[in-house]
Structure 1
Amino acid sequence: MSKFQAFMKENVGQAELVELPLARFGESIKIRPIPSDEADLINDRCFKNIPGKKGRQERVFDPVAYNRRMNVASIVHPDLNDTELQQSYGVRGAEALYGKMFLAGETSLISEKVQEISGLDESLEDQIDEVKN
């Protein structure tokens, strides 16, 4: 028997979908946690080059784009890639639909829940304190 048995893929618990009720909609949206490798890809796509000193390009991180892309990637239901849903809001693309469909406060609630279920809501200090206790 392997000394890493608990870490083998077949023994790891599957991440559950989380329902998040939003008052304006007749049913809850369903979101999933974002795995680290997917978060890394989203992170990489949120850097943009801008002109810097002496004509050099500087890479700058766009936190708004990061949060939006993380949220869009986490929403399982409704399917933001659905053409009919996009047409009903007069947009094309999941990110454009997300921007039209949800109010600013709703996007904040979605962001908070995505961070919570993906394990991004605890600071390093919180984790250290938890281990100490």
Structure 2
Amino acid sequence: MELRQLEYFLMVCEVNSFTRAAERLYVSQPAVTSAIKSLEDELGIQLFDRTLKQAVLTSEGQVFYKHIQHVMHGVSQTLSEIDNLKNLNTGTIVLGITPLAGIAPLPQQLAAFAEIYSDKTDRRG
């Protein structure tokens, strides 16, 4: 199971059409159809009723949809948190101070750090 397949599945659910999903995803309609078919084969279930003009979820598809929404939301949150860490928007600073160095320069160094990252530091305390 690939994230791409899940994204395609959710888009088809959103627009009730393989063709419109492909247009919104900027891919070909056969690519969407193939991805969904591959997903169905892997799961061993049919996700959409293809006898209608619209893409309508089967009972199994409805259960899958409910859970995949949560999964994809979690993936989105995870990627956002990782991006925040990479861009130094969040994170943890770990300080190690030896007894020989003392803590005298620490306030100045923390103040300098806060100045450099003033737009990104958390000022709760």
TM-score (norm. length: structure 1): 0.27
- The structure where helix makes up a greater share of residues is 2
Higher relative contact order (CA 8 A, sep 6+): 1
Q: Which has the larger radius of gyration?
A: 2
TM-score (norm. length: structure 2): 0.28
